[in-house]
Amino acid sequence: MNSHCEGCPALPAGRPTKDSAGPEATVALAGNPNTGKSSVFNALTGLRQHTGNWPGKTVGRAEGRYSFGGRRFKLVDLPGTYSLLSASQDEEIARDFILFGRPDCTVVVVDVTALERNLNLVLQVLEITDRVVVCANLMDEARRLDLAVDIEALSRELGVPVVPTSARTGSGLTDLMREVDAVASGKHHPRPRLVHPASEVERAADELEAMILRAAPGLASARWVAYRLLDGDVRVRRALEAGELADLVQAQKLPPPLSNPRLALEGHP
Amino acid sequence: MTASSSAPTAAEILARADSLQRQLGDAFRDQLVVGLFERSDAIARKVVQKGARRGSIDSALDRWLTSPVTGLPIMLAMLAVILWVTIVGANIPSAWLGQGLFWIEEQADRLFTAAGAPWWLTGFVWHGVYRGLAWVVSVMLPPMAIFFPLFTFLEDLGYLPRVAFNLDWLFRRAGAHGKQALTMAMGFGCNAAGVTACRVIDSPRERIIAILTNNFVPCNGRFPTLIMLASVFVAAAFPPVWASLAAAGSVVGIVLLGSAFALLVSWVLSRTWLRGEASSFTLELPPYRRPDVRRILYTSFVDRTIFVLLRAMGTAGPAGAVIWLLANVHAGDASLAVHIANALQPLGTFMGLDGVILLAFIIAIPANEIVVPTMLMVYMGVGRMTDVPSLDALRNLLVGQHGWTLLTAANLMLFSLLHNPCATTILTIRKETGSRKWAAVGALVPLAIGFVVTSAVAGIVRLLS
């Protein structure tokens, strides 16, 4: 960090690190557009991704680093998306990284002032991975709008840790890093509460999920893969044919930081 | 891992998936999404308690800012005010910066000469490369330092999605995507950034339309040219009280014209090469947020102003060297620059411009920022890029010595709006579309339109006079 950064707003809460020796945990940062995802990213890494109050300005994938409690973390800022279901390029980038990039922890940033819409994405991410921390951001905005958000109830409903933050002022970020550390290191293993309504689609997904789990026991994203196959996702079909799913299970069992997202993304494990 | 004998193979899973998929048909998406929404809704209702007072200011603001009646006029008025503040505020610091930087050049010249450096070294380094950089800094820095914070303020406030909301019906009618308005707003800063921003558009057809038409928004590299011409020629035609307002108004007019062309080209494309219906989308209108002044300053200066400035300087340095060489390498009785300008003269005249202006646009392909400095350098014939101390002197030079008319100025503003994008933008189009064809279309279509429009205006004026 240069000295001229010291007067800047939102000094990094995590200490940015430059050296890359030693194991490093990969943390994916997902969320709806315009939830303050980039603010969280900047506050943690001390980097200056452009932030702004409009949906869709983070279109690529940005990476930054920070360390917490003596461990190093690589934070990957994914494009903001409302869901992971469509074929638009930004949703594909986000989905592929969470599924094949095997992050040690995925932080889903939600706007607590529009929780209903934001939870949609959280529920989809929970189908893919159980290593999730929900960052309940814009708590200051919620106060301004006179909304009371019961964080504990939310955490109970979802089955994963929920950390209230106001990233613009930096409040709650230390708690967020502590929770991410616990999940990424395996100290805390979240058990998402997945409730599937009794519909034709869910019954079909049940059947396919069971098949996938027999082929790849322990695959956390089995249900998600089932959904994708039912939706005719070519990318997931190819992954299945190439045997990448078995590798995903393998990766789950290894100590976290040994994955190589690039190889997995290109389909040559 | 080893698969047990009872485990299904990938092929078996896929076969079962196919048959289930056929059974479900189109119901899949609907049921899945409805299920997700119901669950989200149930959780949100359990967890969030709404207080009595909420969002009253927001909805009051939105009543005006997104109303079908007042939304567009307010938007245009805001643009006009921003440009007016930029024009009025940038003049004086620009002059100071210019004087300071050129003073350094004179001192360096003296120092080099005293140290016995050969004339071509002094000329190349100081009057070529350095002067190119100095020009770009002094012309671009002040307008950017005023324009970007104002723009970032609106962005931080949450106004930009409202722009897209207001313009949605227009773009829809042109067969394009409503989010194209957002990507065009980004284009004001930099067209290359605007082209990248088109990734937010889901449909490939509409995304390509948005990419190809982004260049019709004048970027920050072209604003100084537009603002200068507006100040020198438009403002001069009005009494002093109205001068800066008229200048701002004419730049707003250029922006409107550019948007009109973006819509027109989108309309044509969506009925020819890129046929299809406009897809519907949900646009989230985020709550208005109180902008954070420190972050606005940081974002607008470090992320935008300095970033754009460094990029401009990166191209202006080499371009300055090229200009110096063209102006100092002589063939026969005149410099290369003059020879080329003479060769381009007939075409330039036909377009209501002149050969020097066309030469300037060719040299400025890497960065639009250096069009005006190049032009002035060739006009003054002093073998280097030249700043003219005052706007009056500039008008004398252009009108008195080089036969500029109001037509020349108007057509230069038009051509500055309607010509090929800069090299960076063309490369970005190539990267984003993954196709040379679209990059070529994105470069040549605006150029052709610019040629047709300026020639037509020149022709009409000739007919009338």
For residue B54, give the nearest of A146, A204, A227 by CB distance: A146
What average pLDDT does range B284-298 have in this prediction?
75
Q: pLDDT value at position B34?
A: 81
DSSP code string of B248-297: HHHHHHHHHHHHHHHHHHHHHHTTTTT--PPPP-----PPP----HHHHH
Partners of residue A158 in chain B, C-beta under 8 Å = 43
- Interface probe, candidates B48, B165, B290, chain A, greatest A C-beta count within 10 A: B48
* Angle in degrees, CA B341, B347, B349, rounded to 5: 85
Q: Does residue A216 have a pLDDT over 50?
A: yes
CB atoms within 10 A of CB B315: 22
pLDDT of residue B260: 93
Q: Judge if ipTM > 0.90.
A: no
State the Cα–Cα distance between residues B128 and B130, nearest whole angstrom: 6
Residue B413: per-residue pLDDT: 92
Tokens of B369: 């920022």
Q: Which of A10, A55, A118 faces B286 most closely, judged by CB atoms? A: A55
Q: Token pair 């917490």 is at which residue?
A: A68
- What pLDDT digit, counting tens, does each position of B355-371 carry? 989 998 998 887 787 78
Could you tell me how many CB contacts below 8 A there are between chain A and chain B? 201
Tokens standing for B204?
């490939």
Q: Tell me the CB-side half-sphere exposure of residue B309, using CA atoms within 13 A.
A: 21
CA triple B101-B103-B108, angle to 5 deg:
95
- Interacting residues of B465 by C-beta distance below 8 A, sequence separation 6+: none
Segment holding B417, helix H or strand E: helix B406-417
Question: Which pLDDT score, from 0 to 100, does residue B387 have?
Answer: 54
Q: What is the 3-state secondary structure (H, E, C) of B292-328?
A: CHHHHHHHHHHHHHHHHHHHHHHHHHHHHHHHHHHHH
Q: Is the pLDDT of residue A17 over 50?
A: no
Question: What pLDDT band is residue B277 in, cutting at 50, 70 and 90?
Answer: low
Instruction: Say if the Cβ atoms of A88 and B44 lie within 8 Å.
Output: no
Residue B158 and residue A153: Cβ atoms within 8 Å? no
Query: Pick from A124, A122, A120, A143: which is nearest to A134 by CA?
Result: A122
CA B89 – CA B85 distance, rounded (Å) = 6
Determine the Cα angle at B33 with ends B27 and B37, to 5°: 140
| pLDDT score, position A9 | 35
pLDDT of A268 > 80? The answer is: no
Q: Is B393 on the interface with A (CB under 8 A)?
A: no
A32-90 residue pLDDT tens: 877 888 889 888 887 655 554 444 444 456 788 898 988 999 898 888 888 887 666 77
Tell me the percentage of chain A whose pLDDT exceeds 70.
Answer: 75
- Per-residue pLDDT of A235-250, as tens digits, reads 788 888 887 766 666 5
In the predicted model, is pLDDT for residue A257 greater than 60?
no
Residue of A4, A51, A54, A194 best to disrupt the B interface, most CBs of B under 10 A: A54
Q: What is the pLDDT of residues B210-249, one digit of tens each?
A: 999 999 998 877 877 887 788 778 877 788 788 778 888 8
- The most confident of A136-150, B57-71, B189-203, by mean pLDDT: A136-150
d(CA A57, nearest CA chain B) in Å: 7
pLDDT band at B419 (very low <50, low <70, confident <90, very high): very high
Among the residue ranges B112-116, B389-393, B414-418, the one predicted with the least confidence is B389-393
Q: B36, A123: Cβ pair inside 8 Å? A: yes
Mean pLDDT of A107-128: 91
B 282-341: CB under 8 A from A: 282-284, 286-287, 289, 292, 294-295, 298-299, 302-303
pLDDT for the residue B117: 86
What does the alpha-carbon distance between residue B323 and residue B329 come to, in Å, rounded to a whole number?
10
Q: Which pTM was predicted?
A: 0.63
Query: By C-alpha distance, which of B139, B392, B398 is closest to B243?
Result: B392
Residue A225 CA to residue B342 CA, distance in Å, equals 67
Chain A contact for B346, CB < 8 A?
A: no
